[in-house]
């Protein structure tokens, strides 16, 4: 620090550690941040006097005072101006902490925060030897001076971490990138579906104008003029749609902000004008690239088509134009958002899913076409109609399937998985962790637990060291490809020692203790550092260096919520080491209530309420799911647009076919029922497959990620089918209403010269 001062750099220190605050009977676990009077060096602290009240700039609290964030205040059911107990002292709440320059992006901070002065910490008696606390030195100065100082200091660092502003920005950027990528991917899916709807609509529009264009070309109008004229007309339709889309985007942002507002401490920022510009750009690009193929073909309609009316089939050029347009759109999203790799992976993944679903459906349609089941005319005819338009049937069904799969996966399966995982934690799974227990407190605590009816909790000594060498070679992150290695090498390593193999641990190789200095390592840790029985590792704790032979490798059930360690030493190997103790216990509601007052006698002990922690994590997961759901509902709306467009394309042909059927003697009711069954089948097939895809993904997640015995809700496939059928019928009602009432005399007149 002296060298920093010499270089003209301002410094201040911060100590952070978790502890429990009390106000009356209420208690809350907080992350304490003890700061000096000159905190912060950069930026401003902001506080308020009541929740959601006006903020004002503030200095570091005076000794005897503290700032609490709104969550802690709510948990303690207290207000600004009253006192809270912390350790041996009482401090006055001087304000609600609303902004802390060091705590930017506090979205994932699990515990609420309390800011108090460093001079109070000693008085509180919260920190003893080997207590867990993070000490940070913050530096502020001229960028070049700071970087020069950092370069000089870096080689001397031992276990400390040096974070420059740009590193922090990189970390934040990484979190931001991943989040953005996830949302970007979902938005891309919506965009693809919307593009499909645009392509279908453009095709319908141009098909209806084919004869007019042929005539115009007969009269001598150039292709270019026709292209310009038709393009302008289509543009008139597109512009309001793009504007409406942008407005909808802003509206949705507001809805999402409402949905997650209670979870995020800060409010979501309002989208700026660049969001509108991006929306407009992507909208125009999607519109142009997906209307152009149909438009260019329309302009190329040969005048001779007036004489020889044939079916207007898509040529190879047009078939190629659509994937090309999709590529252009994806590329644009890549360039605009920097999510190209993800876009390509998503494109490949979704195409694969679409192809797989499409393939299965195609085989189904072929089989159906070969042998239409049932004796009822209506059913046979409906299924035949359904199978006889494979193009639009597949487009509609696959779009519906993809969108419904996403919606059902997030809406039902995700929540279900998380709930089942939580339920799957057995009833004796510990739900309270106690950290920072001093050695002399272990026995009294054990006795008091026994009085509360908490039976025989396992206490473990707990020390923090640093991995310095493996097999005599200095440990360096560069030697291990696994990115987790750097985390273990840069940071502190939690370790313990024990005579017996702890619960939820199982030896996979080697023997439990034999002769010499020995250590037991967890299986995943062994994988990261490529270690096995017989290897030697050296750790440094304080001024001691301890080298030990790997005696065995353990598989650890991390989901057991028991205290577990990557490194477990033979007690003799680490004899004389200073430590605190930790334990985990399972408490019922009544025991949990009594635990609070009991722990007041142990102000240094940190109680972590796993239930509350899980609830908080699940709350965040829930908020993310809810915001994503909003996007996937958009995907469903886009799929519905595809459905409507596909039906609109066939509306003319359907009207004529209805007239024909009616001339042959079919009643309107018969035709309506046929149409309902046909549309219902298209939707049910898409929705059913969507439901199955969601179930399959859920099952894979359960197997691979959650590792739980998941009972898939099979009704989801039926629900998907019903939802798909409902949507399809609704689209049919919108587009095909009245088609079955086409007067039969039309059939006689049609084609009359």
Partner 1 sequence: MTVATAAVIDASDISKQVMTAAGELSVLESIDVHLAAGESLAIVGESGSGKTTLLSLLAGLDAPSSGRIALFGNELTGLDEDGRAALRLGRVGFVFQAFHLLPSFTALENVAAPLELAGSDNALSRARAALERVGLGHRLDHLPRQLSGGEQQRVALARAFAIGPRLAVRRRADRQSRPAHRPAGCRSVVRDQPRQRYQPDIGDP
Chain contacts with partner 1 (rule: CB under 8 A):
310-311, 377, 380-381, 384-385, 388-389, 653, 656-657, 660-670, 743-745, 747-753
Cα 475–Cα 479–Cα 481 angle in degrees, nearest 5 = 125
Beta carbon nearer to partner 1, 155 or 751: 751
Cβ distance to partner 1 smaller for residue 500 or 752: 752
Nearer CB in complex with partner 1: 381/606 = 381
Minimum CB–partner distance for residue 198 and partner 1 (Å): 24
| Contact by Cβ (8 Å): 72, 30 | yes
- Cα atoms in the Cβ-side hemisphere of radius 13 Å centred on 606: 21
- b vs e for 183-201, b when ≥16 Cβ sit within 10 Å of the residue's Cβ? bbbbbbbbbbbbbbbbbbb
**Shortest distance, position 295 Cβ to partner 1, whole Å:** 24
Task: Please state, in angstroms and rounded to a whole number, the distance separating the CA atoms of residues 180 and 231.
Answer: 35
Spatial distance between the Cα atoms of 256 and 625, rounded to a whole number of angstroms: 11
Residue 395 or 541: the one with the smaller Cβ distance to partner 1 is 395
Choice between 241 and 653, CB closer to partner 1? 653
**Which is nearest to 549 in space by CA: 529, 520, 508?**
520
Q: How far is the CB of 657 from partner 1 (least distance, A)?
A: 6
The distance of Cα 622 from the centroid of its chain, to the nearest Å, equals: 10
How far apart are CB 746 and partner 1 at their closest, in Å?
A: 9
The residue assigned the tokens 């001779």 is: 304
Residue 388 CB, shortest distance to partner 1, in Å, is: 4
CB atoms within 10 A of CB 456: 9
3-state secondary structure of 458: coil
Q: Which is nearer to partner 1, 217 or 389 (CB)?
A: 389
Using the minimum distance from each CB to partner 1, give the nearer residue, 483 or 751. 751
Calpha distance 461→333 (Å, rounded): 53
Q: Do the Cβ atoms of 654 and 428 come closer than 8 Å? A: no
Q: Which is nearer to partner 1, 76 or 747 (CB)?
A: 747
Q: What's the min distance (Å) between Cβ of 672 and partner 1?
A: 11
- In angstroms, give the least distance from the CB of 351 to partner 1: 27
Nearer to partner 1, 393 or 584 (CB): 393
Given a contact cutoff of 8 angstroms between Cβ atoms, the answer to whether 646 and 730 are in contact is no
What's the distance, Cα to Cα, between the start and end of the chain in Å? 98
Task: Provide the minimum distance between the beta carbon of 381 and partner 1 in the complex, in angstroms, as a whole number.
Answer: 7
Q: What minimum distance in Å lies between the beta carbon of 662 and partner 1?
A: 6
For partner 1, the closer CB: 108 or 752:
752
Whether the ω angle into residue 205 lies within 30 degrees of 0, i.e. cis, is no
Q: What is the DSSP letter of 374?
A: -
> Which residue do the tokens 């359960």 mark?
702
**Least distance from C-beta 360 to partner 1, angstroms?**
21
Tokens of 741: 């009432």
Note the helical H segments in 89-222.
Answer: 118-124, 143-153, 165-208, 210-218
């Amino acid at each position: 620090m002296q060298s920093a001062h010499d270089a003209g750099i301002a410094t201040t220190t911060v100590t952070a550690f978790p502890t429990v605050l009390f106000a009356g009977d209420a208690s809350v676990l907080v992350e304490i941040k003890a700061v000096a009077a000159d905190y912060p060096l950069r930026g401003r602290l902001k506080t308020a006097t009541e929740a959601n009240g006006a903020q004002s700039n503030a200095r570091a609290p005076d000794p005897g005072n503290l700032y609490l964030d709104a969550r802690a205040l709510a948990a303690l059911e207290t207000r600004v101006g009253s006192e809270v107990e912390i350790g041996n002292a009482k401090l006055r709440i001087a304000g609600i902490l609303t902004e802390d320059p060091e705590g930017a992006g506090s979205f994932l901070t699990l515990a609420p925060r309390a800011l108090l002065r460093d001079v109070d910490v000693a008085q509180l008696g919260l920190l003893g030897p080997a207590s867990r606390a993070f000490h940070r030195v913050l530096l502020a100065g001229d960028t070049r001076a700071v970087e020069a100082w950092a370069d000089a200091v870096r080689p001397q660092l031992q276990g400390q971490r040096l974070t420059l502003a740009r590193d922090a920005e990189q970390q934040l950027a990484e979190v931001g990138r991943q989040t953005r990528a996830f949302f970007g991917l979902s938005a891309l899916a919506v965009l693809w579906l919307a593009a499909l709807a645009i392509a279908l609509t453009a095709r319908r529009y141009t098909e209806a104008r084919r004869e007019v264009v042929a005539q115009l070309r007969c009269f001598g109008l150039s292709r270019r003029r026709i292209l310009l004229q038709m393009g302008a007309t289509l543009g008139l339709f597109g512009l309001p749609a793009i504007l409406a889309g942008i407005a909808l985007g802003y509206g949705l942002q507001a809805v999402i902000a409402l949905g997650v507002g209670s979870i995020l401490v800060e409010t979501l920022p309002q989208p700026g004008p660049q969001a509108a510009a991006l929306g407009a750009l992507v909208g125009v690009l999607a519109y142009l690239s997906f209307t152009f193929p149909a438009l260019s073909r329309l302009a190329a309609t040969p005048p001779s088509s007036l004489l020889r009316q044939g079916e207007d089939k898509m040529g190879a050029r047009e078939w190629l134009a659509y994937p090309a347009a999709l590529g252009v759109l994806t590329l644009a999203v890549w360039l605009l958002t920097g999510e190209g790799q993800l876009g390509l992976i998503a494109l490949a993944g979704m195409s694969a899913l679409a192809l797989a679903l499409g393939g299965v459906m195609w085989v189904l349609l072929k089989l159906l076409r070969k042998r239409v089941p049932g004796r009822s005319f209506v059913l046979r005819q409906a299924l035949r109609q359904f199978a006889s338009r494979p193009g639009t049937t597949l487009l509609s069904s696959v779009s519906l399937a993809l969108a419904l799969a996403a919606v059902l996966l997030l809406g039902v399966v995700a929540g279900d998985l998380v709930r089942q995982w939580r339920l799957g934690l057995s009833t004796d799974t510990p739900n309270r962790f106690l950290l920072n227990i001093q050695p002399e407190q272990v026995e009294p605590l054990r006795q008091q637990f026994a009085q509360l009816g908490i039976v025989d909790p396992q206490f473990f000594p707990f020390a923090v060291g640093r991995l310095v060498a493996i097999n005599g070679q200095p440990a360096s992150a560069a030697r291990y490809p696994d990115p987790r290695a750097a985390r273990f090498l840069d940071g502190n390593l939690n370790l313990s020692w024990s005579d017996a193999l702890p619960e939820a641990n199982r030896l996979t190789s080697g023997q439990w203790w034999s002769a010499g200095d020995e250590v037991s390592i967890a299986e995943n840790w062994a994988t990261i550092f490529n270690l096995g029985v017989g290897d030697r590792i050296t750790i440094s704790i304080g001024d001691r260096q301890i080298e030990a032979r790997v005696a065995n490798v353990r598989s650890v059930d991390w989901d057991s919520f028991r205290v577990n360690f990557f490194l477990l030493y033979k007690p003799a190997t680490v004899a004389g080491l200073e430590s605190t103790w930790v334990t985990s216990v399972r408490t019922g509601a009544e025991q949990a209530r009594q635990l609070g007052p009991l722990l007041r006698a142990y102000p240094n002990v940190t109680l972590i309420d796993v239930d509350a922690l899980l609830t908080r994590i699940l709350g965040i997961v829930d908020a993310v799911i809810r915001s994503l759901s909003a996007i996937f509902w958009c995907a469903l709306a886009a799929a519905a647009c595809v459905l409507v467009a596909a039906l609109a394309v066939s509306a003319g042909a359907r009207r004529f076919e209805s007239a024909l059927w009616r001339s042959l003697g079919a009643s309107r009711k018969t035709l309506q029922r046929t149409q309902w069954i046909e549309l219902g089948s298209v939707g049910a097939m898409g929705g059913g497959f969507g439901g199955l895809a969601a179930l399959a993904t859920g099952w894979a997640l359960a197997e691979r990620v959650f590792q739980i015995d998941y009972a898939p809700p099979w009704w989801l496939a039926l629900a998907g089918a019903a939802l798909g059928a409902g949507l399809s019928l609704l689209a049919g009602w919108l587009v095909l209403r009245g088609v079955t009432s086409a007067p039969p005399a039309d059939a006689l007149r049609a084609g009359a010269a």
